[in-house]
Structure 1
Amino acid sequence: MDHPPPRILRTVTGELAAEAVRGPVLPHEHLVLDLDRQGDGAAVLDAEHHAASVTGELSSLRLRFGLSLIVELTCRGMGRDVRALARISRETGVPVVAATGWYYEPFHTPEVDTTDVDQLAAVLVREIEDGIGATGIRPGVLGEIGSHGDLPTPAEAKVLRAAGRAALATGLPLATHAQLGRGGLAQLDLLMAEGLPAERICIGHQDLLDDPGVHRGLAERGAYVAFDTVGKESYQSDATRLRLLSALVEAGHGDRALLSCDISRHGYLRGEGGQGYGHLFEDFLPAFRAAGADEDLIDLLTRRNPLRFLTGADVEEN
């Protein structure tokens, strides 16, 4: 029997066939970042000071749960360090996909103010085609492209449009940051107006928005709906997340949901007293199973959906 050609993922340590990813994927995480605007160092994952905690967690999750891929959505202006990502990937044995783009407006880098949409898109395409800086490491996703509020600001609309054009030009998928879950429909409208198909778009942080109608609306148009802050109880309870996810699945859109933890502060690391990258596997998914989810649905949500988002193609069931 003829088999289709492998779908290739672009990781920080080289190309990887999607078919080789047999275990779960975390599609929205941070391993190294710096979002510190208060001067207290809380919103930081420093490659030097926190690397042991990060690598220890990921190594354990690979052994215990078969963690097989991480999509690392730290982009321009967020403290991105792809050399550190490559080092972490090699040390843990977990492949990592790096990102490019711009976060929401307070974290924009200076060129956003002085450059038009086409020029910004060209910046992203160059990184995608030639690599980030002198590293030669090429991003495998655009994200997390940010906005806050029900409508993007003009600067945020500019970077969303630029990222949409770069995604269309390169074939990469695009993941957004919708602050507290708001503005996802406006993000999708803007990106689709640039010609990017909805199935190449993931709208972020929808588990922070208690509105099943919005989730259904995004999924019905073909976009992925990210429940990607699992375990961040100070923002939303996991009980609410479970209810929202169940509602989306029951509406027939289980193939549009993505699950992750969005570890974005060193205090979230398990070694520093937080819930850790493994909270999804250790706590949330057992609760989902107890609510009636079977293993095929778990595999769909944690492996097949993120791989389809990344490659644009289905992968076989385990």
Structure 2
Amino acid sequence: MSPAALVRTVLGDVLPEDLGVCDAHDHLFFASPLLPGQELCDAAAARAELAAFRARGGGSVVQWTPYGLGRRVADLPAVSRDTGVHVVAATGLHQAAHYAPRLLEEVRGRLADVFVSELTTGIGPTGVRAGLVKVAGGFHALDAHARRTMAAAAEAHHATGAPIAVHLELGTGALDVLDLLCGEAGVPPHRVILGHLNRSPDLVVQREAAASGAYLAFDGPSRAHHGTDWRMPDALRALADAGFGDRLLLGGDTTTAAARSVDGGPGMPYLLRRVRPRLELALGKELVDRILTENAGRAFAVPWRS
């Protein structure tokens, strides 16, 4: 009997239950002109970070680094194989500010084709297939770039069944994103993953987004200007009590070299070293285990096709 769904990793498709404990939003490689000198571009450091995550019980990492931002896709299979951690790669496009105008012009008219190709044929000459489409909104709004990119992501979803992961700028704009992707573009809400909900602790918006059927990712420890870590357990508890415990995801979102644990930052292990036990006190171990395993497996699975 064929499986109903599989998760597409850089080493091939696996069953959702084989992901183990999943960091649902992170970066092994990432480079943006907005973060000069903080590029994640060292394969040895990426391998060490994954090994440290594995040592804490981690089983899989979903890399949300999209097209044109230093994904280093050719390095991902070896890093995954060497550490025994499943890695899921992304296609998609970030906010326009992360790209040179020339690059955007090169892909603007063929975004959907690029996304579908990277989901089905592979990313460049590597043959590694992406497992999700990553796009981004703006601060409390969706500009023309976001709308164009999300429309292309919706096309790619309809062609492949792949989930769409959305960077919400400072955690805002969730309902606008759902209106566009699920209302205008017809993407089923359970195929949408909304990132950074912890950065805007609006319980009303979070509950409405969860009620739509979308997944809500709480990802990354607080930055100095966010200060929302202390609110996250209460937000997750409120959502779980409202019946949305199966809509929640957790991630680390390491985007700079200084944030890596091997360079003195919290890094990927922080999710399991500090966030997990703190949430277990608020939510109970059983629910946190399900968030890190079963929820992630469902969120990133794609329909099996012969």
Give the structure-2-normalised TM-score.
0.92
In structure 1, list runs of 5 or more residues that go unmatched.
314-318
Secondary structure at the residue paired with 1:33?
A: coil
How far did residue 217 of structure 1 move?
0.5
- Report the counterpart of residue 168 of structure 2 in structure 1: 178
Give, as a single letter, the amino acid of the residue that structure 2 aligns with 1:59: A
Q: Using the alignment, how far apart are the partners of 1:96 and 1:125 within structure 2?
A: 19
CA contact (8 A) 1:203 1:223 kept: yes
Closer/same/farther in 2, CA of residues 111 and 268 from structure 1, 3 Å limit: closer
- Report the counterpart of residue 12 of structure 2 in structure 1: 14
How far did residue 165 of structure 1 move?
1.1
Closer/same/farther in 2, CA of residues 198 and 186 from structure 1, 3 Å limit: same
How far did residue 86 of structure 1 move?
1.6
Secondary structure at the residue paired with 1:244?
A: helix
Secondary structure at the residue paired with 1:28?
A: strand
1:91 to 71, 82, 92: 82
Q: Using the alignment, how far apart are the partners of 1:92 and 1:56 within structure 2?
A: 8
Q: Using the alignment, how far apart are the partners of 2:40 and 2:108 within structure 1?
A: 31
How far did residue 64 of structure 1 move?
3.2
- Report the counterpart of residue 34 of structure 2 in structure 1: 37
Task: Answer yes or no: is 1:46 the counterpart of 2:41.
Answer: yes
Listed one character per residue, the Cα deviations across residues 248-290 of structure 1 (whole Å, up to 9, x for unaligned) are: 2222211111111100001111121111101111111211222
Q: Using the alignment, how far apart are the partners of 2:104 and 2:177 within structure 1?
A: 18
Give, as a single letter, the amino acid of the residue that structure 2 aligns with 1:123: V
CA contact (8 A) 2:163 2:300 kept: yes
- Report the counterpart of residue 289 of structure 1 in structure 2: 280
How far did residue 167 of structure 1 move?
1.0
How far did residue 36 of structure 1 move?
3.3
1:1-318 correspondence to structure 2 within 5 Å: 5=3, 7-21=5-19, 23-37=20-34, 39=36, 41-42=37-38, 44-47=39-42, 51-65=43-57, 67-108=58-99, 110=102, 112-113=104-105, 119-143=110-134, 145-192=135-182, 193-232=184-223, 234-291=225-282, 293-311=283-301
Give, as a single letter, the amino acid of the residue that structure 2 aligns with 1:31: L
How far did residue 5 of structure 1 move?
2.4
CA contact (8 A) 1:105 1:147 kept: no
Closer/same/farther in 2, CA of residues 28 and 289 from structure 1, 3 Å limit: same
How far did residue 302 of structure 1 move?
0.6
Closer/same/farther in 2, CA of residues 114 and 134 from structure 1, 3 Å limit: closer
Q: Using the alignment, how far apart are the partners of 2:143 and 2:55 within structure 1?
A: 43
Listed one character per residue, the Cα deviations across residues 11-67 of structure 1 (whole Å, up to 9, x for unaligned) are: 11122222323x21011110011023364x12x1112xxx333322322332331x1
CA contact (8 A) 2:29 2:71 kept: yes
Secondary structure at the residue paired with 1:235?
A: coil
Q: Using the alignment, how far apart are the partners of 1:231 and 1:260 within structure 2?
A: 12
Secondary structure at the residue paired with 2:125?
A: coil
**CA RMSD between the two structures:** 2.0
Q: Using the alignment, how far apart are the partners of 2:300 and 2:198 within structure 1?
A: 20
Listed one character per residue, the Cα deviations across residues 134-177 of structure 1 (whole Å, up to 9, x for unaligned) are: 1111101111x012121211111100110111011101001001
What percentage of residue pairs aligned between the two structures are identical? 34
- Report the counterpart of residue 316 of structure 1 in structure 2: none
Give, as a single letter, the amino acid of the residue that structure 1 aligns with 2:27: H
Aligned pairs, how many? 301
Secondary structure at the residue paired with 2:52?
A: helix
Give the structure-1-normalised TM-score.
0.88
Q: Using the alignment, how far apart are the partners of 1:244 and 1:234 within structure 2?
A: 19
Closer/same/farther in 2, CA of residues 74 and 38 from structure 1, 3 Å limit: closer
How far did residue 231 of structure 1 move?
4.8
CA contact (8 A) 2:178 2:189 kept: yes
Secondary structure at the residue paired with 2:193?
A: strand
Q: Which has the higher contact order (CA 8 A, sep 6+)?
A: 2
How far did residue 216 of structure 1 move?
0.3
